[in-house]
């Protein structure tokens, strides 16, 4: 099995991919779009994509890409996020004048970063990529916020560990692919729909779900490209698409939603512990 993920080795997406299948061959990609392309053209079997963080919120770009591509969601997994301040060996915290990381990681460590003085905080495309940049360029007086695994891969040391603001910091990842990921029964369904701009339209849509006793676990709105001030609604339902109640809710919703698409029906994730999220030593 081949799994594509966005980022460099040591990224949290790599950890998520190992949780999906510890024996898989992992293929790092530069951008989220590249993950979709790799699955689309058959270069890999599955793609792993972050969709939301318990502190930073949704990764909007991946909602948009799910709509643009015809690749169903076949699974999900959760990874506890533990951030470390990584630098070249021999550096001390007092030496650091620049800190690099992905904007989400910087936001998740805001309290720690505020405690530093005379330090410039610089956003980059990836947590593990920031660690790699510091190692490749031998950047003194600089540090990256990334995982312990990113430090191991790039020969960096942790000046401070577990610097995230919240100990429950967790990222949920979706798995996309053309084949089922496992034989586990589906118990979650993700859909996207549009609504007419009229009074009570969203209430009516949510009532179609609620009145059938289905728990709505996430609701996300995104701008509808090309239709100014109109929106797409992404919804996670705690039910399999084939469940009678869910099937009837979707049929009801389809009667008045101008567009309705099921993005996937799949087994929901079980929250991972720190131990299950630890990355194996792959040399």
Catalytic residue list: 171, 173
Residue with tokens 């550096």: 91
**Residue 47 CB contacts under 8 Å (≥ 6 apart), including other chains:** 3, 4, 5, 35, 36, 38, 39, 71, 175, 176, 177
**Rg of the chain over all Cα atoms, to the nearest angstrom:** 20
Token pair 């040391």 is found at 157
Question: Taking the alpha carbons of 65, 60, 46, 8 in that order, is the dihedral positive or negative?
Answer: positive
Q: How far is CA 110 from CA 88, 131, 164, 221, in A?
A: 22, 18, 8, 26
Give Cβ neighbours of residue 26 (< 8 Å, ≥ 6 apart).
2, 3, 4, 5, 14, 17, 18
């Amino acid at each position: 099995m081949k799994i594509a993920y966005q980022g460099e080795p040591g990224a949290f997406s790599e950890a998520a991919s190992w949780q999906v299948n510890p024996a898989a061959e992992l293929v790092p990609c530069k951008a989220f779009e590249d993950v979709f392309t790799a699955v689309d053209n058959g270069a890999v079997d599955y793609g792993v994509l972050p969709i939301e963080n318990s502190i930073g919120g949704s990764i909007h770009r991946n909602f948009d890409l799910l709509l643009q591509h015809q690749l169903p969601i076949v699974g999900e997994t959760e990874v506890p996020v533990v951030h470390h301040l990584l630098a070249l060996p021999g550096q001390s915290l007092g030496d650091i004048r620049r800190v690099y990381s992905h904007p989400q990681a910087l936001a998740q460590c805001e309290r720690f970063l505020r405690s530093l003085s005379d330090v410039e905080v610089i956003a980059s495309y990836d947590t593990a990529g920031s660690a790699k940049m510091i190692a490749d360029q031998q950047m003194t007086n600089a540090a990256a916020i990334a995982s312990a695994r990113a430090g191991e891969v790039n020969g960096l040391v942790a000046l401070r560990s577990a610097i995230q603001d919240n100990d429950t910091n967790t990222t949920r990842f979706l798995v996309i692919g053309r084949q089922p990921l496992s034989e586990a029964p589906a118990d979650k369904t993700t859909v996207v729909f549009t609504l007419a701009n009229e009074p009570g339209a969203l209430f009516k849509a949510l009532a179609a779900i609620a009145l059938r006793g289905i728990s709505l676990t996430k609701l996300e709105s995104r701008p509808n490209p090309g239709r100014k001030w109109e929106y797409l609604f992404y919804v996670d339902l705690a039910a399999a698409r084939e469940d009678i109640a869910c099937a009837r809710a979707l049929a009801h919703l389809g009667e008045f939603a101008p567009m309705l698409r099921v993005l996937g029906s799949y087994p929901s994730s079980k929250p991972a512990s720190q131990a299950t999220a630890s990355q194996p030593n792959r040399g």
